[in-house]
A and B are shown apart, each in its own frame.
Chain A
Amino acid sequence: MISSNPARHAESLIGELGILSANEIDVEAIAFDSGVEVLYEALDGCEATLVGFGSKAIATVRPSSSRGRERFSVAHEIGHWLLHRGKSFQCRADDIVQNYSADIRLEKEADEFASHLLMPTSIFQPAIKAANRPGLNDLQDISEQFEVSMQAVSIRLATLDTLPIIVACYTKAGLKWSIRASHVPRRWWLRNQLDDDSFAYDVLYAGKPCNRLGKQPAETWFENDDADQYEVLEQSIPSSNGQVLILLYLNDPEMFEVGFDPNLKLGALSKKR
């Protein structure tokens, strides 16, 4: 079953265990099957740690009020155990997004493993398809079904690459992170600060709810000079720690056909997003 591809490795394990639905993904039992005992204890500076010897390991996970967060931590440590056995490395950081954006190969691999273990394509894709063009309310339902956080389900949706979406997270200080489906052109450059016409701005600054996807001029979201020619769909919800989570649909086919934007600043293109 050994595979160098974390996603394939996780999905193969799900298949081997005969798991066919989201509620069968008992992450502690999967850990045990893989030789990992899971303990929940207070930790200082780490979301979780893993200690292993021979073919057995102990994963210690910091208790959290978010069950999704705990499950992701357990799945992440299973990933380390199956992918990185016999190595010593720094523990998982406190913040899932910090890991996602960090240039730490082992952490990214374990996160990718965890994402596919908790949301295997064979089960996750039909759930997304059933929601047709899911908004954040639908993703909330799906996150409860899979017992994962909204961040985890949003990132997984983008990596699934079946819908023309960008998921982003802003604070009052500006863009914190974003991820787009692979087929969404990189030429569309998100603004660093929230536009005051965006629904996200109302959510963040006025606490005004945004209950469904709504049309927005693309220039509200993108720096590109030609963005005023297109429309996008936006939905935004408040997230933890003064953040707002945004789902954008690029549903105008022409946004995929337009070529390279020569007016984009070269500096912007060299930034990592």
Chain B
Amino acid sequence: MSDTGKSDDLAMFLQTQLEELLEMTDKDILEGTNPKDLTSENLAMITAAKAEAGRRRMFAAKAGMVVGKAFAISTMPQVSVAEARAFIESAMNDNHYTLAARTLGEMSDVDILRVYHQLHQLKSKSESPDNDKQ
């Protein structure tokens, strides 16, 4: 859904640079320059780069939202309420699923079918070969 891979690479690069910078002795830093000034300049650069990476991540998320809506799955399997209820009950005891909803006994038939279809949609997407590209 997001540009997480690129963000992770950039975050790792920034983290490595920060660690190297903090481990440098004053002698290692360019001669004739105030080490404290240089460190603060580099820290400022890293902060700015991190902020830019974050902004790009947000931009990618906003763009992804538009694409996600355009390609939303519209067809869903027809199931009975009893089948959907049994599936949800099983999902509730499976830690691959996350579910914050009313208890099964309190859910209306409409709720049961909506939750079932959402679970099915997520499962289908995760099993789709295109999933890795997202």
Contacts and interface: CB of A to CB of B under 8 A. Distances in A.
Nearest to B48: A18
Contacts of B100: 48-51, 77, 80, 84, 88-92
- Pick the most buried of B98, B108, B114, B122: most chain A CB atoms within 10 A of its CB: B98
Given A33-B2, A41-B114, A49-B115, A57 B98 contact: yes
Interface string A51-91: 11111111010000000000000000100110011111111
A19 interface: yes
A86 B95 contact: yes
B6 interface: no
Contact of A53 (B54, B97, B111): B97
A54 B96 CA distance: 6
Contacts of B79: none
B103 interface: yes
Contact of A45 (B53, B102, B122): B102
Given A37-B68, A58-B121, A86-B95, A46 B62 contact: no
A40 to B, nearest CB: 12
B38 to A, nearest CB: 24
Contacts of A55: 126
Contacts of B55: 17-18
A88 B97 contact: yes
- How would you classify the secondary structure of chain A's contact residues: helix, strand, loop or mixed? mixed
B98 A51 contact: yes
The number of chain B residues touching the other chain, given as a range, is 35 or more
Contacts of B111: 43-44
A54 B106 CA distance: 26
Interface residues of A, number: 44
Contacts of B103: 90
A70 B103 CA distance: 22
Interface in B20-74: 50-55, 57-58, 60-62, 64-65, 68
A32 interface: yes
B12 to A, nearest CB: 13
A17 B102 contact: no
B104 to A, nearest CB: 10
Contact of B58 (A29, A46, A92): A29
A20 interface: yes
B106 A45 contact: yes
A88 B99 contact: yes
B94 to A, nearest CB: 9
B37 to A, nearest CB: 24
B79 to A, nearest CB: 15
Given A50-B100, A80-B98, A88-B98, A32 B54 contact: no
Contact of A35 (B1, B91, B97): B1
Contacts of B97: 51-53, 86, 88
B61 A33 contact: yes
A16 B1 contact: no
Interface of A: 15-20, 24, 26, 28-30, 32-33, 35, 37, 41, 43-46, 48-58, 60, 77, 80-81, 84-92
Closest 3 CB pairs of A and B: A18-B54, A52-B98, A53-B122
22 contacts: A17-B58, A18-B50, A18-B52, A29-B58, A29-B62, A30-B61, A33-B61, A37-B68, A41-B114, A49-B101, A51-B101, A51-B119, A53-B97, A54-B96, A54-B122, A56-B122, A77-B100, A80-B98, A88-B92, A88-B99, A90-B101, A91-B102
